[in-house]
């Protein structure tokens, strides 16, 4: 089986976790703090706060901005459901914004129209989909003109850049994932990045029962949750972060090899914005237009050939909950309709040999012909 992804776990990662296990100090210790500091240094921001996953990061970021019941948050149409769910769990309403066909990311022109139509929007949440940068400079300009803060869903985008600046550092908050499908992992885990000292403090209180993080003794000054990262995860994250650029380089080389193998074919490789850095958390192609709606058949045919593939991600307005909640229908977001019906993720990870990539592309061509009949 050629797997979709395999996390880059080395002996130094295992040793880092074993060291914590032997120490007996498993929560709220120096490894988490060191990991947060190293993450912040890599991004070039003063504050990073760790949480159990990126969904928590999004949730707490919106909560820290005062988003609540009845508020509206502008969010792109194409993402894992957690992006919209983080809005709904607060009682707020996602206002979906169409994507660009080229990058699969929020369309700035569509955002501008959305903010004109919904002037009470309380936050904008773009996604850097699959490790490719949204046009975050344009999005920031549009949101700034409207006086609306931006929360970047950078779950897939550690190391992604636009104009030499890291994704997740443009907005009021940047939210990252440490899931095993990401470049580096702590099993599960998330990071909130911000330039704002007060907001970082708010996130720290919200993740730890409302406890003042600067008090000399426990002092619970607000409500909060139990959303802390463990020392095991902190140690693993610190070890993983040291090899991040190596992993990104390997993924980028793999993406270039797929680009070469697919050149001249009817399968469209991923595209990125000029003056940006794509880190290829996933390598997502578009199948030919005549296979719109038949992508799952291609995935099944690939599975029979012992190759693991999957869809790109989800058309959130058309998953059952949001379709019923918002009364959405096909045609409301035509670009997303098209992308979501044809996008397919190919195997990509550090250590995937070029021979396996060639096998994937050969099998993909066979499966396309098979599904066409």
> In this structure, what token pair is assigned to residue 109?
């022109």
First-to-last alpha carbon distance for the chain, in angstroms, is: 25
Q: Which residue has the tokens 């009682």?
A: 91
CB 365, CB 268: distance < 8 Å: no
Residue numbers in the chain where pLDDT is lower than 50 = none
**What is the per-residue pLDDT across 31-77, written as a single tens digit (0 to 9) for each?**
999 999 999 999 999 999 999 999 999 999 999 999 999 999 999 99
**What is the per-residue pLDDT across 196-230, written as a single tens digit (0 to 9) for each?**
999 999 999 999 999 999 999 999 999 999 999 99
Q: Which residues contact 327 (CB under 8 A, 6 or more apart)?
A: none
Give the whole-angstrom CA distance, residue 298 versus residue 368.
6
Residue range(s) in the chain whose domain bears CATH number 3.90.1150.10:
244-372
Q: Which residues contact 263 (CB under 8 A, 6 or more apart)?
A: none
> In this structure, what token pair is assigned to residue 182?
């990401």
> In this structure, what token pair is assigned to residue 293?
């709606």
Angle between helices 54-64 and 197-207 (to 10 degrees): 120
Which pLDDT belongs to residue 28? Answer: 80
Q: Which residues contact 370 (CB under 8 A, 6 or more apart)?
A: 301
Biggest alpha carbon distance in the chain? 71
Give the whole-angstrom CA distance, residue 67 versus residue 55.
15
Cα angle vertex 58, ends 53, 61, to 5°? 120
Reference 176, options 165, 164, 189, 163; nearest CA is 189
Residue range(s) in the chain whose domain bears CATH number 3.40.640.10:
11-241
What is the signed CA dihedral for 326, 330, 331, 333, rounded to 10 degrees? 60
CATH class of the domain defined by 244-372:
alpha beta
Which pLDDT belongs to residue 107? Answer: 98
Question: Which run of H or of E encompasses 359?
Answer: helix 354-372
DSSP secondary structure string, 225-249? Answer: -B-PPBHHHHHHHHHHHTTHHHHHH
Give the whole-angstrom CA distance, residue 66 versus residue 73.
12
Give the whole-angstrom CA distance, residue 125 versus residue 224.
23
CATH class of the domain defined by 11-241:
alpha beta
The structure's pTM equals: 0.97
Burial of 201-224, coded b for 16+ CB within 10 Å and e otherwise, reads bbbbbbbbeebbeeeeeeeeeeeb
Cα angle vertex 235, ends 229, 237, to 5°? 75
């Amino acid at each position: 089986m050629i797997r979709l992804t395999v996390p880059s776990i080395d002996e130094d990662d295992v040793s880092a976790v074993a060291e914590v296990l032997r120490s007996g100090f498993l929560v709220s210790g120096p490894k988490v703090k060191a990991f947060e500091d190293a993450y912040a240094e890599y991004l070039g921001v003063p504050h990073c706060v760790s949480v159990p996953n990126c969904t928590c990061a999004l949730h707490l970021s919106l909560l820290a901005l005062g988003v609540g019941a009845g508020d509206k948050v502008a969010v792109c149409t194409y993402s894992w459901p957690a992006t919209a769910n983080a809005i709904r769990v607060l009682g707020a309403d996602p206002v979906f914004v169409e994507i660009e066909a080229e990058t699969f990311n929020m369309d700035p022109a569509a955002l501008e129209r959305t903010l004109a139509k919904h002037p009470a929007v309380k936050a904008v949440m773009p996604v850097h989909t699959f490790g490719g940068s949204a046009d975050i400079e344009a999005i920031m300009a549009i949101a700034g003109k409207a006086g609306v803060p931006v929360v970047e869903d950078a779950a897939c985008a550690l190391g992604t850049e636009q104009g030499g600046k890291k994704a997740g550092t443009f907005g009021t908050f940047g939210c990252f994932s440490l899931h095993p499908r990401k470049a580096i992992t702590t099993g599960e885990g998330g990071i909130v990045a911000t330039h704002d000292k007060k907001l970082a403090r708010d996130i720290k209180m919200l993740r730890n029962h409302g406890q003042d993080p600067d008090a000399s003794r426990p002092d619970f000054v607000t409500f909060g949750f139990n959303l802390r990262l463990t020392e095991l995860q902190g140690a693993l994250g610190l070890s993983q972060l040291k090899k991040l650029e190596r992993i990104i380089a390997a993924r980028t080389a793999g993406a270039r090899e797929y680009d070469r193998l697919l050149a001249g074919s009817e399968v469209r490789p991923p595209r990125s914005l000029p003056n940006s850095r794509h880190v290829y958390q996933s390598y997502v192609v578009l199948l030919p237009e005549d296979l719109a709606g038949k992508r799952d058949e291609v995935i099944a045919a690939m599975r029979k050939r012992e190759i693991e593939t999957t869809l790109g991600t989800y058309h959130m307005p058309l998953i059952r909950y949001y379709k019923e909640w918002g009364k959405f229908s096909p045609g409301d977001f035509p670009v997303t309709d098209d992308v979501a019906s044809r996008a397919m993720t190919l195997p990509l990870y550090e250590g995937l040999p070029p021979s396996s990539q060639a096998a994937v592309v050969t099998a993909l061509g066979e499966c396309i012909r098979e599904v066409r009949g």
